[in-house]
Structure 1
Amino acid sequence: MTTTTLATTLALDDRITGSLIGAAVGDALGGPVEGYSPEQIVERHGGRINGIVGPWNGEAWRTARPIAPYHKGDGHITDDTLMTHALIRVYATVRDHLDAYAVADHLVPDLMSSPRWIPELEAEALPLQRVFLAEKWMVARLHYGHNDPREAGAGNIVNCGAAMYMAPVGLVNAAHPEAAYAEAIDIAGAHQSSYGREGAGVFAAAVSAACVPGATPASVVDTALSLAKDGTQSAIEAVAEAAARYSDFESALAPLRTAVAPFDTVGPDYRTPSLAARRPSRLHSIEELPIALGMLLVGGGDYHNTVLGAINYGRDCDSIATMAGAIAGALHGESAIPGEWAKAVAEASRLDLHAPARELAAVTREVFTRDTERRRSHESAFETLTEAR
């Protein structure tokens, strides 16, 4: 595995900014080729994708199936970033650690009550009108069904829906992967179960681990493996072992897919999932997180190479690139992200990509102060208990 260390220790704000912008850019670049194979991508684009491209069906994006009515491409972010920014707004409201109840009390109302600009719809709309069915599940279960938030994810299709927007949890718990994992597992209980929930916890931990001074791709993966359970751990281990043999994504595309295939319930045809797809299991894993970590290793943590590898992998590549971009951005900060990509995505999506990062950085400091006070209070109480006669 690559063991390159960073020459300098990056500031917290730079890591948060790099992670969130890195995730959004990866999302936007991967959107137009989501659901297709590496071979189809080459045929459609005349080679591998090296930056922002237009919709798969060109001007027919409004009506062409299976993507209609979404304008994927041209620098538009997708639901991955919409959900990431929604979670940041919850942190900005609560200004402390979150749990499943915060999803019910704040995230669900945000999705169903606050119109926002939706780049893929080229219109202002409720986020609920854009998010996937797995996210609409939260509204059905929590708003209409009044289910216990901690258990609302049970019964939902098991996919990467919760994992794709957990980067903020890793950043609020920067350099404390165990805390990030635990908080994400709690939050994700309102959305997912089984290996979908596990993937959310491990992804948050990976982002947190990338914020540790001196972190490397290898240390991030080692941390993920130390916390992951069941099929998620096995899938990451298998992909990491395969990734160690490659240093360019072109040669790694097929081997990484082969490594993760036994753990992926969707099957070889992404558009026609198998009968066992997305069902709870202790033997399986979401595909996106292991592949994102694998591409991080193949690319040596370099943002450009890591994200391009994720995009050209195809399948659910917008979510893979979102996760890979978040981790690589946390490792290296904003300067690692090609400026022309970030500028184009911000302009095309009509988003201030820096604003969520500034908000989350402020919240992260407040939460750390609260944690310090709580820890000192516990230390004082424990000291009294152990000194009692």
Structure 2
Amino acid sequence: MTPIGEETLESRITGALVGAAVGDALGGPVEGYSPDQILERHGGRVDGVVGPWNGDAWRTARPIAPYHKGDGHVTDDTLMTHALVRVYATVRDHLDAYAVAGHLVPDLMTNPRWIPELEAEALPLQRIFLAEKWLVTRLHYGHADPREAGAGNIVNCGAAMYMAPVGLVNAANPAGAYAEALDIAGAHQSSYGREAAGVLAAAVSAACVPGATPESVVAECLAVAKDGTRAAIEAVCETAARYTEFEPALGPLRAAVAPYDTVGPDYRAPSLGARRPSRLHAIEELPVALGMLTVARGDFRQAVLGSVNYGRDCDSIATMAGALAGALGSPVPDEWAGQVAEASRLDLWEPARTLAAVTREIFTRDLHRRRTHESAFAGLGGAPCAV
């Protein structure tokens, strides 16, 4: 397969971050429902920005109230992604769990920002899900060791959903992205939730390699992934390779990931074993996002629409698929990006500009550190110093 595009670092970072936000906004209004329910509610498949599931009753209709999901509003996936970019902009170097405790948690707790789903300025802490509030509980109030704070949290996609910036900072270095994301995610998640964060970062990093394809991205994921996460990705992507359109793939992809998913068939009523640590299981979102990327052959529009119409946790699935397709260089439709930016009242491009500048600074530091190591190692007689 030929490469999707020959892109610059800046364009790949922009594609990934804007693409993630667009996927998030398109998936939000149908999150938690099945493909059949989506089909019935919308009289066909979702093919762009749509309104709230319950129309004007979104403020009180359960189980979504009081969030205005739909009409182009991004969700907590994007809020957390942008928050992590701000941490990189502050630290201007690689991050770890201590950076989460020292910078991300205070940002969530103390800096009011525009929250599209609340249509108001509020603390991000007032919007994020309980699995993300765990960061504040454990790190600020519990004074837990940041590297171990994720233990005890529900195991879900909460850390993976905002790890794209880690893959971008480590562009074209999947192993480095995986290691850094595992360190960061230790403050938030454990078990296969933490593993998914590492693999998603590796996937985004792999998508930035010149000449990358969906197949090469999946291969890099399989090279680093462990246990049930690896098995789930392999099973889903083997199934996805048999399809070139998302409609006939919806059922087969769910069937392929089901043995590894702990939530069970009813997304709104999880099974007794749901979201508990395990070496045998995986989050559903990452394998399905990679599967949709495979079905779409890397095309942004098809990967995101497949993820959205899959239902279940489709805002996070589409966030991941959008980041991956965007990093590969598949164009994010201007009309979608414009609608989401305007509706959410957010500059979707500013975080990309910021992260691109920081990424270049970090690479320069890495190069200096590498040269210092090479010189010291050569002094030990280990190898000649590179010219």
Q: Normalising to structure 2: TM-score of the pair? A: 0.98
Specify which of 100, 104, 129 is matched with residue 101 of structure 2: 104
Specify which of 260, 275, 281 is matched with residue 257 of structure 2: 260
Partner of 1:79: 76
Distance 2:28 2:87 in 1: 25
Partner of 1:375: 370
Distance 2:14 2:125 in 1: 26
Q: How many residues align?
A: 383
The letter for the 1-side match of 2:70 is G
Residue pair 1:4, 1:300 contacting (<8 A) in 2 also: no
Q: How does 1:1-389 map to 2 (within 5 A)?
A: 3-6=1-4, 8-332=5-329, 336-386=331-381
The letter for the 2-side match of 1:367 is I
The letter for the 1-side match of 2:3 is T
The letter for the 2-side match of 1:385 is L
> What displacement does 1:387 show?
6.5
Deviations 1:238-269 (A, max 9, x none): 00111011100000000000000000000000
> What displacement does 1:4 show?
3.3
Deviations 1:160-219 (A, max 9, x none): 000000000000000000000000000000000000000000000000000000000000
Runs of 4+ in 1 over 2 A off after TM superposition: none
The letter for the 1-side match of 2:193 is G
Q: 1:67 to 1:214 in 2, by over 3 A?
A: same
Distance 2:239 2:252 in 1: 7
Residue pair 1:216, 1:331 contacting (<8 A) in 2 also: yes
Residue pair 2:6, 2:329 contacting (<8 A) in 1 also: no
Gaps of 5+ in 2: none
> What displacement does 1:5 show?
1.7
> What displacement does 1:353 show?
0.6
SS, match of residue 87 in structure 2:
helix
Distance 2:352 2:364 in 1: 18
Q: Normalising to structure 1: TM-score of the pair? A: 0.98
SS, match of residue 45 in structure 2:
coil
Q: 1:375 to 1:270 in 2, by over 3 A?
A: same
SS, match of residue 224 in structure 1:
helix
Deviations 1:34-79 (A, max 9, x none): 0000000000000000000000000000000000000000000000
SS, match of residue 386 in structure 1:
coil
SS, match of residue 124 in structure 1:
strand
The letter for the 1-side match of 2:209 is V
> What displacement does 1:307 show?
0.3
The letter for the 2-side match of 1:371 is D
Distance 1:387 1:222 in 2: 32
- Matched-pair identity in %: 79
Residue pair 1:172, 1:360 contacting (<8 A) in 2 also: yes
The letter for the 2-side match of 1:216 is T
